């Protein structure tokens, strides 16, 4: 059985809000998963087809429009792909008010996720082993996916950034809740864990634990 030691990770930066999406697959394998496909879904589709990969799953860290806008185009290209997301975010994906797209003037509605992920559960998605961490505060049911069979990679959407954290002023947001979740669930991970955020460059747990101004001050 293949492990995640040969995990391939590709970041694709979409124009809308400069949002990061990711393609993950095991080297030599044929199935891939995509995390948070943004406005430039064609870039994901082109990569998958160029590398003869089948899209098995789209994983959504949360329901905000810049992270889900590419889903319809991805499903048009790969209609058999499943959607996975956090159980406490599920009701927002087909509700433009809850996912905030209506506030931007362009209502986005996608189907309810096929697979509902729960806090603390360990799962295998497209051959890749993950632990699910629910860390609300940016959105009510936001999740991070943490690899468990390789060097620790954290796909955290808009939870933790290089030198920052996700906005907490949207409906359903909470600064204390987000900071608490980061400290209790992410900062206990190995210090060299790589964080792949929804915006900006990657970072490490050690770097953010030691230097992130939102998390090192007494304000949190």
For residue 60, the enclosing domain spans 4-216
- Residue 159, both tokens: 């939870």
Residue 92: give its domain's CATH number.
Answer: 3.60.15.10
User: To the nearest whole number, what is the mean pLDDT of the chain?
Assistant: 95
| Exposed / middle / buried, residue 217 (Cβ in 10 Å: 0-12, 13-18, 19+) | exposed
CA count, 13 A, side-chain hemisphere, 80: 5
| Exposed / middle / buried, residue 192 (Cβ in 10 Å: 0-12, 13-18, 19+) | exposed
Q: Average pLDDT, stretch 133-152?
A: 96
Query: pTM to 2 decimals?
Result: 0.96
Task: Tell me how far apart the alpha carbons of residues 20 and 17 are, in angstroms, rounded to a whole number.
Answer: 9
pLDDT class of 186 with cuts at 50, 70, 90: very high
pLDDT class of 3 with cuts at 50, 70, 90: low
- Residue 126, both tokens: 């497209």
Q: Average pLDDT, stretch 107-118?
A: 97
Count of the separate structural domains present in the chain: 1
Q: Tens of pLDDT along 48-80?
A: 999 999 999 999 999 999 999 999 999 999 999
Which pLDDT score is estimated for 220?
45
Phi-psi region of 5 (alpha: psi -120 to 50; beta: other; left: phi over 0): alpha
How far lies 54's CA from each of 47, 126, 174, 218, in Å?
10, 10, 38, 47
């Amino acid at each position: 059985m293949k492990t995640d030691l040969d995990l391939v990770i590709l970041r694709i930066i979409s124009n809308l809000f400069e949002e990061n999406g990711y393609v993950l697959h095991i080297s030599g394998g044929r199935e891939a998963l995509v995390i948070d496909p943004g406005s430039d879904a064609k870039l994901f589709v082109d990569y998958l087809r160029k590398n003869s990969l089948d899209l098995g799953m789209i994983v959504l860290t949360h329901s905000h429009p810049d992270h889900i806008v590419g889903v319809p185009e991805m499903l048009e290209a790969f209609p058999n792909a499943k959607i996975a997301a956090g159980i406490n975010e599920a009701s927002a994906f087909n509700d433009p008010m809850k996912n905030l797209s209506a506030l931007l003037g362009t209502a986005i509605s996608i189907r309810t996720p096929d697979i509902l992920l729960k806090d603390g559960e360990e799962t295998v998605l497209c051959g890749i082993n993950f632990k699910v961490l629910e860390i609300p505060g940016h959105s009510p049911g936001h999740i991070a996916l943490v690899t468990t069979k390789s060097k620790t990679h954290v796909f955290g959407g808009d939870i933790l950034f290089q030198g920052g954290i996700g906005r907490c002023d949207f409906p359903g947001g909470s600064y204390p809740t987000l900071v608490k979740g980061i400290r209790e669930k992410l900062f206990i991970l190995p210090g060299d864990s790589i964080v792949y955020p929804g915006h900006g460059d990657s970072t490490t747990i050690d770097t953010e634990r030691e230097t992130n101004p939102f998390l090192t001050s007494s304000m949190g």
